[in-house]
Structure 1
């Protein structure tokens, strides 16, 4: 195995989260001793519980990653690691960039800079959907890359509006590319693969679990020059994306809403806290023009 294949192998091992891989890479950047390190040495190196260490070591010495890569390739799934030259520039700038990305579709979109993340409630109002159409369609026509999470509601509609405008879109999954969730969005995911690119930090055969979605949200904001929040309740996953965007130094845009609508409480609060109020596509364009990364 070469260094990149070893990193992908490591990424498949249970018990090897982002920080664990960071520790291993810092200790042995070339991964030369990955398979020769003793258990006692691993215990000293990795501050993880013994049950997680057992799973990690079991996978480290038993998984056949080269076979997995062949299986992925047969399914048109490819990998980009942080060691590759074509790893997305914007994503590499965040505090905790994914070590490995798995993708299907046109990876050139991951290198574009005019990228807008769009997230929002799974149960949008008719106002939210109409406003999204009005603001997003012109941007998609002008080839802004629209990035979202392939979830029900605003996310799905953002992808659909972009595809209808013959625009460019990036879908980011919580689970693996072979386990698309929700299943009702499989047809949409296939359209995104055909016209854009579908990516995930999760190994392709893994099912989506709740803890994966906040990690996905940091990728949406990390790949984006700015993030547009369209309808979000007071406690919403979309606000996690907004917070990640702020921490990553990205612009945060928000759609104002009816003060009596629960779906607008989160976005109105974001505006109150300093997010840029958006009434038209021009306001996003002007901000992008001023703040090209």
Structure 2
């Protein structure tokens, strides 16, 4: 991939300081091309990034240590394609977030990011066979109309969504809450490897970053951000699924919910969404019709 010198310097900064773009605004206002990146003293970094001097001092030291590292070549060796926020491949919709990723690290077919219809399918990590049955009615029409299924590669509904897209011959994107050197959870490692070869894995974290509790809520805004609509299969009332839905609603995305039996705790989330105005969903043609008719 062709990158500008500014983008190469951003990769070096992001490797040691992997924060969203809004945390770098003052730095870019002061130095749009990052030409002075390696010349800043610790105090200047502390002021520009609004961080404690001790943290800025460590950052300064790390920048000096790795300023000659050929990050682009190293990523190519691992078949990782980094996409900075300034690059044409970066999804325009992510710029609408308050805190867009400064860099997306991708593995697989990055052209999926440019597809016009990306649909997120999300739900509980403890999703039941009811989700599987629902996906058998929802996913085939999406695939038939060239839509890309987006999810988070978590256990349960996420993995079911990715596997359904694959089984029906479709395309799917997994948004990870960690770097590409750490495939998580272990149960989905085989699926993740297949997707990194045939489909697409994306993350805002450099390859070495391990999964942590705080990284997954951050991931959810990207799932919503790159998707045109959100489908919820099964979910409890308070969950990460609901945080993704809130991101979607904040940005005017269509939200579809699969009605569920009132005896199931995993129906509480989608049934509540229906009460609050989400569109009830029982087959994928409803999504296709809604999105195409909006065009």
Report 1:238-257 matches (<5 A). 238-257=241-260
Alpha-carbon distance change, 16 to 160 in structure 1, aligned in 2, over 3 angstroms: closer
Between 1:64-73 and 1:2-11, the stretch displaced more is: 64-73
Does the 8 Å contact 2:82/2:106 carry over to 1? yes
Alpha-carbon distance change, 199 to 58 in structure 1, aligned in 2, over 3 angstroms: same
Match of 2:155 in 1: 152
Does the 8 Å contact 1:14/1:59 carry over to 2? no
TM-score by length of 2: 0.93
Report 1:134-173 matches (<5 A). 134-173=137-176
Query: Is 2:92 the partner of 1:92?
Result: no
CA distance in 1, matches of 2:99, 2:293: 26
Report 1:260-271 matches (<5 A). 260-271=263-274
CA distance in 2, matches of 1:65, 1:22: 25
Query: Is 2:224 the partner of 1:221?
Result: yes
Aligned with residue 27 of structure 2, among 24, 29, 36 = 24
Please tell me the root mean square deviation across aligned C-alpha atoms, in Å: 1.8
Shift of 1:141: 3.0
Aligned with residue 79 of structure 1, among 74, 82, 86 = 82
Query: Is 2:47 the partner of 1:41?
Result: no
Match of 2:9 in 1: 6
Structure 1 outlier segments of 4+, above 6 Å: none
Does the 8 Å contact 2:171/2:199 carry over to 1? yes
Report 1:60-139 matches (<5 A). 60-64=63-67, 66-139=69-142
Between 1:265-274 and 1:83-92, the stretch displaced more is: 83-92
Does the 8 Å contact 2:19/2:102 carry over to 1? no
Alpha-carbon distance change, 66 to 203 in structure 1, aligned in 2, over 3 angstroms: same
CA distance in 2, matches of 1:240, 1:16: 20
Between 1:157-166 and 1:25-34, the stretch displaced more is: 25-34
Alpha-carbon distance change, 17 to 91 in structure 1, aligned in 2, over 3 angstroms: closer
The answer for unaligned runs of 5 or more in structure 2 is: none
Shift of 1:103: 0.8
TM-score by length of 1: 0.93
